[in-house]
Each structure stands twice: as C-alpha cells, then as structure tokens.
C-alpha cells in the first residue's frame, strides 16, 4: 500500500532552471493538491484538482503549473526556478476536499541557488 508517492525527495536547482515534481497516488482519490511549507508558515496551497482534466489555483500559484491527465498522477512544474521557491513541497490526496482524510506524501525538499 504505497499511498501518495512523491519524487524526488531532495533537489537542488539553479535559478532559471525548470523541473517537475512528481506525485502519484494509488487510492483512486479524486482530489489532489500541492502545498509548500516554509518555516513558520504552515502549509500554503499552490494548486489543486478535483478530478482528471480539472485543475484550479490555490493561494500561491504564481511560478507553478499543474496538469491532471489521469486520476493517479498530479505533477507540479516549476517554470523558471527562483530562490523564493526554496521550500518543502507536499502532495496530498483525498476522496473529497475537507470532509475526508487527506493523505500526504513525504515531501520534496527543494533548494534554488
């Protein structure tokens, strides 16, 4: 029972580089989301999806793109990395948002230099 799998666990990027953070879940959850966690800031919602083909912006979407071509996968793309995007990124999935348990991946620690 894998749950939510994020890759990579650690990444160092140079300013201006692009990359994709991968997220996959095997629980057939409709709702998936990406958060970033900075010290003292809790979790801030970047983008979310209520099902395949449907995505929407969260609280801090600038500089990030997402797509949801399948129920299982929800990749997060950094278009042109900036030092302000240094953070820990978490992917989460649940049957629906809010009333059911959100399962989180183990996080990706990203450093942009």
List residues near other proteins by CB under 8 A.
Answer: 4, 31, 33, 35, 40-45, 48, 50, 56, 58-59, 90, 92, 96-107
* Three-class secondary structure of residue 83 per DSSP: helix
Q: Minimum Å distance from CB 87 to other proteins?
A: 14
* Three-class secondary structure of residue 87 per DSSP: strand
Nearest residue (CB) to other proteins, 82 versus 97: 97
How far apart are the C-alpha atoms of 100 and 109, rounded to whole Å?
Answer: 26
Q: Minimum Å distance from CB 41 to other proteins?
A: 6
Q: Minimum Å distance from CB 98 to other proteins?
A: 3
Nearest residue (CB) to other proteins, 4 versus 21: 4
Omega cis (within 30) before 14: no
How far apart are the C-alpha atoms of 29 and 109, rounded to whole Å?
Answer: 24
Nearest residue (CB) to other proteins, 32 versus 81: 32
Q: Minimum Å distance from CB 4 to other proteins?
A: 8
Separation in Å, CA 46 to CA 1, 2, 98: 26, 24, 16
């Amino acid at each position: 029972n894998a749950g939510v799998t994020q890759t990579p666990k650690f990444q160092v990027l140079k300013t201006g580089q692009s990359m994709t953070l991968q997220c996959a879940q095997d629980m057939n959850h409709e709702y998936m989301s990406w958060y970033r966690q900075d010290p003292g800031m809790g979790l801030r919602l970047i983008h979310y999806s209520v099902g395949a083909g449907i995505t929407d912006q969260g609280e801090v979407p600038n500089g990030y793109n997402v797509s949801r071509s399948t129920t299982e996968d929800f990749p997060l793309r950094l278009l042109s990395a900036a030092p302000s995007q240094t953070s820990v990124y978490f992917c989460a999935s649940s049957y629906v948002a809010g009333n059911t348990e959100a399962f989180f991946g183990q996080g990706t620690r990203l450093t942009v230099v």
